[in-house]
Amino acid sequence: MSEQYKFHRTLSIHHPPPHNLAVGIFLSIAMEDPYAAYRPRHSTHSSIASSSKTLRESGYYYSSESYALLGMPSSAKTADGMKPSFSPAPSRNETPSRPKWLSPYYLIPTTVLVVHTLLLVCSWTFFSITISRPAALSPGIALHVRDHIQSVTMVVTLVASFISLVSTALYTRSILYSLARFLEGGVSLYTIASATRIAEPSPLKDFTRPTWTIAALLLTLAVNSQTAGWTTLLLPKQIEITSPMTGFELDMKSPGFKRLVEDNKDIINADLFSRVIPITEASGGTAVSTHFNLPSILNFNHFSWTNSTLGVMPVALEEIESSILSVQGENIPVNVKIHRKENTPRGFPVRFSMTQQGFTAQVSCQQRNLDANTRPSIRLRSQLDRLFDSPVTLAQLEVVCPTASSATFSEPVLTSTNVDALFGISCPVIQINGGRRWDLILAGSGIYSAIKTTVCSVWPLLDLVNVDYDDNTFVFNSSFPSFINGSIPWSYDEAPWIGDFALSVFLRGLRVGQSTTGNSMGDTVLTFLSSVQNDPDALSQILAEYTRGVLELSVTMLRMVFTQYGNGLYPGGSSTIPESMRLNINGTHRATTIGWHQARETAASVLIAPTFVSVVSILIIVATLASKGRNREPEASHYFDPGDILHIISASAAGGMKTELTPYHEDTVESSEHVQIKLVPVEGAESRPGFVSWENAK
């Protein structure tokens, strides 16, 4: 560009006529376009061309060379006061000085394809990773995010908004780029108007082309939903990191343990648990409460159970102290291992589940009228005496079991003169198939006479059960998951070698709960019985559930004693579970932390909007490039932007539009469908491109 031309581009007007100056400024704004070098020097039928002629006649001349700015009139008054003179316009053949690859013709499709492809690849890669498995933040960052969740949400939303803004901008450019390319071959005025509205994006208000209207609505929804999709994808939230767990516990079905119990009956009995026998009443009451859908929790030895213990050995993730055998207590070792894949921070909820061996009892109770002449026979023996000048009664139950030739006596208890007591005794029964069961006989007297003589048939069973461990920090303050809830057991096997021991614990608890004023088990049974008086089978259900709960607790205590350090109960005085008595167990550890994971119920919708926008943008560019092929456009057309109102005005004022358009108050939509226009050089190959009626361009 010549120095003389650059000099005259500087605006220097000395007292021009006011009306001509206004016209010049108006035209400088209205005619701003990238085609200054090709601007025609002729009048058109437009009002803008008429104003241009007026300006030329007034002695002013305007010119422009820029894509974005039009030149202003330049005047310089001579020293002798002559009429101002103006510099000539730049040459028509002068092209923009910027590199060709930076022109919109090349830059827009390249940017759209690269950026939207990256968005698709990155979003779906991240989505695939986080839906297949959770991705956790480092422990330190997770704690920071948890403590500043609102700030993190704001930052992520801003990032999502920025990504959506870039995606939307490129989506808009792809449509406008395609429209600019197809203008060379000719399109309807309706196509131009509709395409620019879709690019905004904005729905179409007419149904001239129903397909376009529906597509515009879908694209508008998709573009405006991108932020929601990106935020849902990128926002870190609470997730669970699962890790497998393996370990072992005492196998009560192993032949070695069976022999151990049978050979040490004098040791493995209720006397072993004399310190914790009173807890049996709470265990029975918890089981009854659960049966009648009443919330109840049993707390024992650092653990809390719903329903009952289910006869399982509670799994601890750290050594805990057990005081079952002595006041000093011994620790219970950790016999499980967590195979962690990622570290999780402390202070977040932790839970795990294990498949373990449990114990239960099938208990069936029935009221029977028994006396000294029935089989089994029953007789209450009592003796009134005085103790420290207070009358007391020493009482016991005498029973002759069906398979016994002599009577069996319950342990004598001190009670009131009215014999307010609840008695129990068990009779072993050999079944026809060779199996064993126990008939537990319970009888109340005095204030417990409502507990009629009942025979409960008991079948001890070993089973498998899924046990859930939870830290439940909203209820308990525990350093490890200690809240236990088990599933319904399955895979039952009879375990008669445990029957005598379990029932001895039940009967010891019944006797320990007896006093001169009453019986704790009897009080519990009467309490439940009074609340379900309308059920004729209530007493049988209460006694059956109570018995089951106590028997399950007895085996849980037995497992704890055989697992803790220093028990000395194994052969040779060992305290470690021998390999032959071990049962392998496994489970799943679940630790809560902060990270990313896509929920299955919303996964399908997270990336619908961003993906739809990216795919449409890419397809538009690909289809445009494929349809145009190697067809070359005039280089000046490369800069035309149908989304820029100044470019539209400039192209319309080029002089090629001779079609009379419908007035504003009439239906302009339908008529615009029939107006076909092209963007071509108006006056020869070297002239400025502008809108030309299709009929005139042929």
pLDDT exceeds cutoff 90 at 40: no
Question: What pLDDT was estimated at residue 57?
Answer: 41
Task: Among 157-166, 431-440, 567-576, name the one with the lowest average pLDDT.
Answer: 431-440
| Among the listed residues 267, 249, 257, 277, the one whose alpha carbon sits nearest the alpha carbon of residue 557 | 277
pLDDT exceeds cutoff 90 at 26: no
**Average pLDDT for 101-108:** 83
Reading the block at residue 569, the tokens are 């109960």
Question: What pLDDT was estimated at residue 420?
Answer: 95
**Average pLDDT for 563-590:** 93
Q: What's the rounded Cα separation, in Å, for the pair 208 and 186?
A: 19
Q: What's the rounded Cα separation, in Å, for the pair 398 and 407?
A: 6
**603-628 per-position pLDDT tens digit:** 778 999 999 999 999 999 999 888 87
Q: Is the dihedral angle over the CA atoms 354, 355, 358, 362 positive or is it negative?
A: positive
**Average pLDDT for 375-392:** 89
Q: What's the rounded Cα separation, in Å, for the pair 455 and 644?
A: 95
pTM above 0.85, yes or no: no
**431-476 per-position pLDDT tens digit:** 877 788 999 999 999 999 999 999 999 999 999 999 999 986 555 5
Question: What pLDDT was estimated at residue 217?
Answer: 94
More confident site: 673 or 438: 438
Question: What pLDDT was estimated at residue 670?
Answer: 67
Residue with tokens 């008086």: 533
More confident site: 332 or 29: 332
Q: What percent of the chain has pLDDT over 70?
A: 81
DSSP state of 324: S
| Burial letters 616-652, b for 16+ CB under 10 A, else e | bbbebbeebeeeeeeeebbebbbbbbbbbebbbbbbb
**Average pLDDT for 244-259:** 96
Q: What's the rounded Cα separation, in Å, for the pair 212 and 152?
A: 40
Question: What pLDDT was estimated at residue 158?
Answer: 97
Question: What pLDDT was estimated at residue 83?
Answer: 42
Secondary structure class of 238 (helix, strand, coil): strand
More confident site: 178 or 45: 178
Q: What's the rounded Cα separation, in Å, for the pair 557 and 443?
A: 27
pLDDT exceeds cutoff 50 at 403: yes
**Average pLDDT for 55-84:** 38
Confidence of residue 479 (pLDDT cuts 50, 70, 90): low
**Average pLDDT for 35-55:** 40
| Burial letters 251-261, b for 16+ CB under 10 A, else e | bbebebbbebb
Confidence of residue 97 (pLDDT cuts 50, 70, 90): low
* Bridge partner list, 380: 397
Q: What's the rounded Cα separation, in Å, for the pair 324 and 280?
A: 13
Residues 6 or more apart in contact with residue 682 via CB below 8 angstroms: 40, 654, 655, 656, 688, 689, 690, 692
Question: What pLDDT was estimated at residue 555?
Answer: 96
Q: What's the rounded Cα separation, in Å, for the pair 244 and 238?
A: 20
pLDDT exceeds cutoff 90 at 275: no
At residue 527, what is the residue type? T
pLDDT exceeds cutoff 90 at 245: yes
Residues 6 or more apart in contact with residue 117 via CB below 8 angstroms: 614, 618
Question: What pLDDT was estimated at residue 474?
Answer: 54
**Average pLDDT for 145-150:** 93
Confidence of residue 478 (pLDDT cuts 50, 70, 90): low
| Among the listed residues 200, 149, 63, 103, the one whose alpha carbon sits nearest the alpha carbon of residue 637 | 103
Q: What's the rounded Cα separation, in Å, for the pair 372 and 374?
A: 6
**Average pLDDT for 259-264:** 90
pLDDT exceeds cutoff 80 at 684: no
Q: What's the rounded Cα separation, in Å, for the pair 650 and 159?
A: 38
Question: What pLDDT was estimated at residue 50?
Answer: 41
3-state secondary structure 565-581: CCCCCEHHHECCCCHHH
Task: Give the CA radius of gyration of the chain.
Answer: 47
**Average pLDDT for 134-156:** 93
Q: What's the rounded Cα separation, in Å, for the pair 650 and 647?
A: 5
Q: What's the rounded Cα separation, in Å, for the pair 105 and 107?
A: 6
Q: Are 426 and 408 in contact (CB under 8 A)?
A: no
Question: What pLDDT was estimated at residue 496?
Answer: 93
**Average pLDDT for 643-660:** 80
Secondary structure class of 59 (helix, strand, coil): coil
CA atoms in the 13 A half-sphere facing the CB of 39: 28
CB-based burial label for 525 (10 Å; 0-12, 13-18, 19+): buried
Question: What pLDDT was estimated at residue 236?
Answer: 95
Question: What pLDDT was estimated at residue 374?
Answer: 92
State the average pLDDT for the chain.
82
Question: What pLDDT was estimated at residue 8?
Answer: 36
CA atoms in the 13 A half-sphere facing the CB of 44: 24
Neighbours of 200 (CB within 10 A): 15
Q: What percent of the chain has pLDDT over 90?
A: 50
| Among the listed residues 567, 669, 679, the one whose alpha carbon sits nearest the alpha carbon of residue 208 | 669
CA distances from 390 to 315, 396, 413 (A): 49, 20, 16
Q: Can you state the percent helix, strand and coil of the chain, rounding each to 5?
A: 40, 25, 35
Q: Is the dihedral angle over the CA atoms 372, 374, 377, 382 positive or is it negative?
A: negative
DSSP state of 84: P
